[in-house]
A and B are shown apart, each in its own frame.
Chain A
Amino acid sequence: MGRTIPSANQYLIQEQESFSRFRRALRRSDQLALDELFAAARKHAAALSYASHALPFEVALLSMLLEEHKEVMRLRQLIEAQSHQENG
């Protein structure tokens, strides 16, 4: 039983490797941030696979954005809670 198409995880690893020249030319701090973006995409590998999108990198970008937005929401809630505490 072989698979014709690479799994979502394999695909993301390949995609990340294809950016290795781009990554190399980045500053160390930016490299770490880029790694985190790809890690964010890998968190949604199951959904990426299920989506069966013809251009999976679009789904990977959306996954990165999703994690970024979750972080924005978390920070927003934190700030709101803090200002609530200060005002209340």
Chain B
Amino acid sequence: MSEYLVNIQNERLSFFTPAGEVKALNDVSLHLKEGEVLGIVGESGSGKSVTAYSLMGLTAYPGRLIGGTLDFNGHRINDMTEKQMRKIRGNEVSIIFQDPMTSLNPVYTIGNQICEVILLHTNKNRAQAKERAKELLTLVGINEPEKRLKQYPHELSGGMRQRVMIAIALACEPKLLIADEPTTALDVTIQAQILELMMDLKEKLGMAIIMITHDLGVVASMCDRIAVMYAGKVVEYGSTDDIFYNPKHEYTRGLLRSIPKLNEKEHKKLVPIEGTPVDMLNPPKGCPFAPRCGSCMKICLREMPAYTDISDVHYSACWLLQKEEFEKGGNA
């Protein structure tokens, strides 16, 4: 139907809390082709996870989708019932969570938890499901799968558990894998193992990945496209090279300046982004980044900037770009 596997247009999502409405997502637009890796980066509370979860129909209670369209693989997610959603979840799209310690059920064996997904979504019988589970464990690089199937989550290390989570997510060969900070809770050497495994599996199975993270290093090495989020808004979207070498939004630039680089030879002082993240209960009027922005103008405090296209696949929401565009137009 469309050329994109995932196409989110102007998504708005709010949490109606006792303290007031929290606009967790404020006009989010994203798209992703089959087999691509999209990285969503941003600070905690910027709406990265909420975006991804809403794509799976997993918006938690006080939250409600209040606008926009979500298309995935020919389905219009907004209009789907829970029953229809269940068919897609785990089958066409699956997710791995940040914390492998809490996302596996401690009272069931690994085998039990993998087979559950297989039995639910395919018409395999128990014996076949067990065979498939063994295959999956081998696929994610766990040796002695026979033995592991009988073990409980607490008997495995963090990296192993994350591998099991990946095995569960891949049980039905989904078209899209959402990885919500899959390596944040792991050590660097284990992180390297998991990231390599994910890229390997992507090649083998040809799935698309949405990678949610706050680590710019992880996205640099893995992703084709990057969406930078700030306060419930995608402030910049582009190819990995666009974002790293030609960032247009002040927030993206600030982020890149504020991280120390290991391969730098001399000691450069970091340039931090001043101020504190936005209070989502009382977001500022206008551009949410304006209070922390070095080149803030009057209009930034009053009105939200619209998206400016820099190239076909690179866009950003900043008044400075609008101004540039206008001046260019004026000269022509």
The answer to whether A and B assemble together is: no
